[in-house]
Structure 1
Amino acid sequence: MALNRKGSRRITVDGTEYRWRVRRQASCGQGCCGGSPMTYAVEAAGTDRSRGTVLLVTTGHLRPDNVLAPEAVPVLPAQVAAAVRTAREQGWEPEGPGSAFRLTRPGGRGPGGGR
């Protein structure tokens, strides 16, 4: 699984460059049903797109375009960096083959996602 380059942002974490992006449009569950939290994807920027493992980070808050709870809570680069570090500590290997690595982060506005 590869991350679409269009619309992705670059971030450097501990000397390694990654690309990340939030899905452009909400899925049905994220946008109108009110129960699904926002998810974003991260991958190593220099990895062969057919080989690298994508990190899928589920946040603890809803998307800003959710119709039931429209409070905007953006994903900040500091949160992405903290998620990358946590995933690496938990065994995510972005350069290697494999299925997506999933990480759930608590909600909030701090750098680690917590309050």
Structure 2
Amino acid sequence: MALVKKGSRLITVDGTTYRWRLRGRPTYDQGLVQSPLAYAVEHADTPGTTLVVTTDQPHPGNWFGTQGRPVLPAQVADSIRTALTNGWTPASPGSSFRLDSSEGFVSSH
């Protein structure tokens, strides 16, 4: 499934362009700071398998005002490189590829 273009950003990593997007509103668990922020990445030209990256920080729109850090393009690029090294094939169809970087996340409850 392709990402929605509205609200997504383009990033070029090692000569290949990708589209990435954060969910605007938190999921219920993210709102309660019980699960961390996640974002999705796909190949910009031929979307296939979507990369879902789980971070170690709370969603910025959580309901408790728990402070997080912004997701920077350099972090997205590092995640893309890590996923490619671990077998992500962005232009091939298939179910989502998950990259869990949530070590260190502290739940509010």
Question: Is 1:10 aligned to 2:6, yes or no?
Answer: no
1:45-65: CA deviation from partner (whole Å, max 9, x where unpaired) = 001x4xx11000000111112
> What percent of counterpart residues are identical?
55
Extract unaligned runs of 5+ from structure 2: 105-109
2:103 and 2:15 map into 1 onto residues whose CA distance is: 26
SS of 1:37's equivalent?
coil
SS of 1:83's equivalent?
helix
Alpha-carbon distance, 1:107 to partner: 6.5
What's the TM-score once normalised by structure 1's chain length? Answer: 0.84
Cα gap change, 1:106 to 1:37, in 2 (>3 Å): closer
Extract unaligned runs of 5+ from structure 1: 109-115
Question: Is 1:27 aligned to 2:27, yes or no?
Answer: yes
1:21-42: CA deviation from partner (whole Å, max 9, x where unpaired) = 10011111111x2211000000
Question: Is 1:80 aligned to 2:69, yes or no?
Answer: no
1:61-89: CA deviation from partner (whole Å, max 9, x where unpaired) = 11112123521311000000000000000
2:80 and 2:65 map into 1 onto residues whose CA distance is: 27
SS of 1:70's equivalent?
coil
CA contact (8 A) 1:34 1:69 kept: no
CA contact (8 A) 1:34 1:66 kept: yes
What's the TM-score once normalised by structure 2's chain length? Answer: 0.89
CA contact (8 A) 2:33 2:59 kept: no
Runs of 4+ in 1 over 3 A off after TM superposition: none
AA at the equivalent of 2:17: E
CA contact (8 A) 1:29 1:36 kept: yes
SS of 2:18's equivalent?
strand
